[in-house]
Structures are given as C-alpha cells and as structure tokens.
A = this chain, B = another copy of it.
Amino acid sequence: MKPLRVAILGVTGAVGQEFLALIGERKFPFSELKLLASGRSAGKKVKFQGKDYSIEEARADSFKDVDLVLSSAGGSISKKLAPEAVKAGALVVDNTSAFRMDPEVPLVIPEINPEDIAKHKGIIANPNCSTIIMLVPLFPIHRLAKIKRIVAATYQAASGAGAQAMAELDRQSREILEGKKPTKEVFPHQIAFNLFSHNSAIADGGYCEEEIKMMKETKKIFHAPDIQVVATTVRVPVFRAHSEALFVELEKKVTLDEIYQALHKGDGVRVVDDRDNNYFPMPIEATGRDEVLVGRIREDHSVANGICLFVSGDQLRKGAALNAIQIAEIWAKSR
C-alpha cells in the first residue's frame, strides 16, 4: 500500500482517539497525519509515535493534499465538511449518521459487503455501532439460512455517547458510592447503577433514532430490503462495549451444529459459549478486542426456525474506529 496523507476529523473524541491507536497498532501506512478538531482544541499538542502533532481547527479548506479523511466529528460537521474533503480529492470514511442512508453512499461492514466499497463517490459511511455489533455475528448465519426477522434488545455502553459520557459514568458512580447526589452533564438520566432507554430522539411510531438506524441500516448492508428488524435500545452502566440479545428467525431449518460451524468460520467473530462454566460474552472481555464475541447460541422453540444469541463487541473498535480503518485499508489496497 502506498503511504497516504491521512486526516483525522474529530481527533479529540473517543472514536478519534481510537483511530490514532489503531493507525499505530495496525501499522496503517501514512506519510502525513493531520489532526483536526473544533476550534476549542486547536493548538493542543498530541504525541503519536514519538512525534508531536498540533491539532488544527477543522475548516472547509483543511483537506488540501489529503488522501483519506477518517471522520467522527458529529453528523452536522460531517455534512458540512465531508463534501469539501471530497472536492479536495480525498476519500472520506465517515463514522457519523450523516450519509449512511444516502443511496449514493456505500454503507460497509468489511466482513459483509466489502464489494460496496468500490461504488463510492468520495464518501463511504461507517454503520451505527449497534448495527455493526449485531450484523457481524449474524452474517455467517444469514449466509447459511437467510434471516427473515431479527429481534434485538441492546445493552449499550457509555462510550457510544463519547468520552465525556464515560467520564460521567465514572463520576456519578463515585458520587453515589460517597452518598452524594449524582450530577448530570451528558446524559438526561442517571447512568451509574441505572439504565434507560437510549437517549436519541424518539421519532415516528415511538422508535428512537438508534433503533431506526439498526432497522434501516441492516437492510442496506445485507442488500435485503425484505428483512424485518425490530429493536429496543438501552443504555447500561458499562464503559465501552455494547452487548445485544438477539432472536432471529431463519428461512429454513438448520442445526445448531451448522450454526456453530458457520460462526467459528465467520470473519470478525469469536465464539464464547461455554455452557458448563456459564461463560458467555461479556463487555469487559469484548473491550479492546477486534472480534465480536458471540454465545448463548440456542434454538428458539417459540417460533419456526428460531435461533437466540447474545453478543458483545467493543463499541469504539469494531463498532466504530476499527470498522472505518478496515474500510480504508481495503480502499487503499485497490488504489
């Protein structure tokens, strides 16, 4: 791969920090690195691989001589700046929801639809974190017996709301353990020792945006307009990995052995399913890992061809930064 001139947009956020960590860890080939954030952070220094980088304010003219933009700066900023980066000749891998459902923009999980990368017109969208963590382990099953319907209940970490939300979980936990009233800055409700319906806006029909993303993005990524998805998304007092209870209905009967085999061979999946020791996917074990953990694999006799699963995946890695880097790697190889 030819070294790239890379810009990270939103480098001070939780996902931005993970972009940096993964560029180092995966030896992503870059010749120049530009760190972009809001004006508030401009001028701050970041040490990376022994070198000092100065954060610059992200502006429309920030993308001259940039080949690749890894973007995670919020939907409204992406909407404004991604087209500018494209005009300047860069490819943007965007982690926000700004372009995901745009028919001109590929929405990609590399383990599932890498072929869509080639269809880009300058922007490739990274799916929602809960969607990625749900679909990576479901895809090997979908290939085996075509999924008709997915019922998902999520257990989402604070990290999905950013670094400040993780700090809020830490701070509120201390306050409560000290007998103080917990202070709220990021989330609308207490997150420590509590849980609440995902804090995205409620839209038509009572579904929140997070749920609607899971429902719509699945159809686009799987190229399966008829697949039925329903989700209830919930924030839990966990720092950084999302978990999900999944109940799927398949087109045809397959054995549990076939499911196990498909999952064992599945890309990006790690089976953790030790019934004797009651040992299954847990967010603390998914944290820092590239693979999505999958377990509690069992037949659901309450419906025809039903399968239940429980999954945990690192929200900041596979759920966000890692998936984007993997997209960039595939794109970079094909240049």
Using CB atoms and an 8 Å cutoff, list the residues of chain A in contact with chain B. 149-151, 153, 155, 169-170, 173-174, 177, 188-190, 193-197, 199, 201-202, 205-208, 228-230, 232, 234, 236-239, 243, 245, 247, 275-284, 295-303, 306, 308, 310
Contact = CB atoms under 8 A, between A and B. Distances in A.
A171 to B, nearest CB: 10
With most chain B CB atoms within 10 A of its CB, the pick from A151, A173, A193, A301 is A193
A193 B238 contact: yes
A276 B153 CA distance: 22
A5 B53 CA distance: 77
A280 B278 CA distance: 32
- Of A190, A281, A282, chain B has the most CB atoms within 10 Å of the CB of A282
The copy count of this chain in the complex is: 2
Contacts of A278: 188, 197, 199, 201-202, 208
The binding surface of chain A is classed by DSSP as: mixed
Given A197-B310, A230-B247, A206 B298 contact: yes
B194 A296 contact: no
A284 B193 contact: yes
A193 B228 contact: no
A203 to B, nearest CB: 9
Given A189-B282, A228-B301, 17 more contacts: A149-B302, A151-B302, A153-B153, A155-B236, A173-B177, A188-B279, A190-B282, A194-B238, A194-B283, A195-B243, A195-B283, A197-B296, A205-B301, A208-B278, A230-B302, A232-B310, A245-B245
Can you list the 7 inter-chain pairs with the closest CB atoms, starting with the nearest?
A: A153-B153, A206-B298, A228-B302, A153-B245, A232-B245, A230-B302, A202-B275
